Amino acid sequence: MSPYHSSSKIRAFMKTTACLLTLALALTVLPASAEKTDRDMPMNAESDALRYDDLNQTSVFTGNVVITKGTIIIRGARVDVRQDPEGYQFAIVTAAPDKLAFYRKKRDGVDEFIEGEGERIEYDSRADTVKFIKRAILRRYQGATLADETTGDIIVYDNPTDVFTVDSGSLNRSVTNPNGRVRALLAPRNRATVPAPPPAAPAAGAPALKPSRALGDEKK
């Protein structure tokens, strides 16, 4: 076989290997970044009734509404959705009387979920924020374990930064919270256990200590 054919086969083999490595890396990276594209995912909705206005790009879902968008789940009695010319969606979720609307989303890169409730929920996919209004509750779960819980009048959660703000007010007053103040239960984050320092070694030349068999002074 000529050197020319050998070098051609080597180049072809290296090119094929590079393509396979590129594909493998793409498949490896995709699941990790999938959660960050929740706001870019299509919105799927189920309800008892729907009124759609194509001219104004608005939809009104009523009756046991369930909306999914990536890892996001939204539930309420009524959901009004408006879509802007760039495709971003703005949703207002209204709860049934004496009930709370519901929102849940997986946090990026960790086995944690953000879950919130309120009489009204406002979701903005452009800013990637969600607002819980009146009897608002925000919870953070580590797997299936409740880690944090916060209540207030208005809670605004920012998905990109995982930062939330809580306001108190008259709307949050109840029999168990007559002043309407913000209440929070925040679990400590896991910290690495620091090992205890080893016992100090005796100084060089110091006599070794031995147990005594007698109490008090020894007889001379």
Q: Looking at the DSSP assignment, which residues form a beta bridge with residue 76?
A: 65
Going by pLDDT thresholds of 50, 70 and 90, the confidence category of residue 29 is very low
Has residue 136 got a pLDDT over 90? Answer: yes
CB atoms within 10 A of CB 11: 10
Which of 5-19, 151-165, 189-203 has maximum average pLDDT? Answer: 151-165
CB of 86 closer than 8 Å to CB of 104: no
Nearest to 90 by CA among 82, 102, 99: 82
- Report residue 15's pLDDT band, with 50, 70 and 90 as the boundaries: very low
Q: Is the pLDDT of residue 171 over 90?
A: no
How much is the average pLDDT of 46-56? Answer: 95
Q: Which helix (H) or strand (E) holds 121?
A: strand 120-124
Arithmetic mean of pLDDT over the chain: 76
Average pLDDT, integer, range 213-217: 49
**pLDDT value, residue 90:** 95
What is the per-residue pLDDT for 19? 37
Average pLDDT for residues 148-159, to the nearest whole number?
Answer: 93
Mean pLDDT of 173-180: 59
CA-nearest of 106, 141, 138 to 36 is: 106
Tell me the residue length of the chain.
220
* Nearest alpha carbon to residue 47 among 93, 3, 5, 84: 93
Q: Which CATH architecture has domain 39-186?
A: Sandwich (2.60)
pLDDT at 194: 44
Q: Is the pLDDT reported for residue 55 higher than 80? A: yes
Residue 108's pLDDT band, with cuts at 50, 70 and 90, is confident
